[in-house]
Amino acid sequence: MGRLDGKVAIVTGGGSGIGRVSSELFAAEGARVVVADVSGAAAGEAAAAIAAAGGDARAVEVDVADEAGAAHMVRSAIDAYGRLDVLFANAGIFPADDGGVLDTPPDTWQRVMDVNLKGVWLSCRAAIPAMLDSGGGSIVNVASFVAIVGAATAQVAYTASKGGVLAFTRELAVEYARKNIRANSLCPGPIETPLLAELLADPARRERRLVHIPIGRFGRPEEIARAALFLASDEASFVTGSSLVVDGGITAAYVTPE
């Protein structure tokens, strides 16, 4: 018995990084998975890998910031599998020119808000009616540890968008608590993904962040995927409106060990 046996899950940003690893883990745990990604090719590759491993997956190309796209994503799940039980809203962006309050261009701010916050809202808005029809479900929205702490190496649009995800998810959880839909936020620390590698290609920039992690390393995508799996599964049946922080101790630390 897998922890998601009989369930249908959508994973946004499922074509790479945390999303791909989560898609593969959800499938290995028995879910039928809709891999949704802005890159149709990446989604297709992830779905093919799941199928090759004996799982059941469908690929959907979607811009989560587009209302029609989010609706199409959910319809694809219903058309393929007849129900929807899990939404892992993982898609997000972090542009290189997202910096301080005075430095971040307004267009960059808006683009980050459209994908990271509006995209989560639209994904949930599309998924909830299908979950109600299926008898309930679990929503896991990806926020970030930076929604809880501030940073001198600013990334103001990203931070603000992830703070919005926390607040939105709490309200969503309360609104649907008696309709058998749970909603929780997942707050990763820095994770070794292609996006992080690109952002921290400069060794000095990398070390500037690494020094603040008590465990002494960046996280791995599978560590976030396992946390998402718990929140998505019935093992978390009494968990809603919460924020699960998976950050190697960053938000707990005043200073790190020598």
For 5-27, write each residue's pLDDT tens digit: 999 999 999 999 999 999 999 99
Concerning whether 158 is annotated as a catalytic residue, the answer is yes
Residue 199 has pLDDT above 70, yes or no: no
Domain residue ranges of the chain, discontinuous segments joined by + = 8-248
Residue 76 has pLDDT above 90, yes or no: yes
Residue 69 has pLDDT above 80, yes or no: yes
Average pLDDT score, the chain: 95
Q: What is the DSSP letter of 255?
A: S
Q: How much is the pTM?
A: 0.95
Cβ–Cβ under 8 Å, residues 55 and 79:
no
Q: How far is CA 175 from CA 99, 136, 170, 226, 232, in A?
A: 34, 13, 9, 26, 18
Residue 200 has pLDDT above 70, yes or no: no
- What percent of the chain lies above the pLDDT cut of 70? 98
Compute the distance between CA of residue 150 and CA of residue 246 in angstroms, rounded to an integer: 17
Residue 201 has pLDDT above 80, yes or no: no
Which residue in 81, 158, 176, 254 is the catalytic one? 158
CATH hierarchy code of domain 8-248: 3.40.50.720
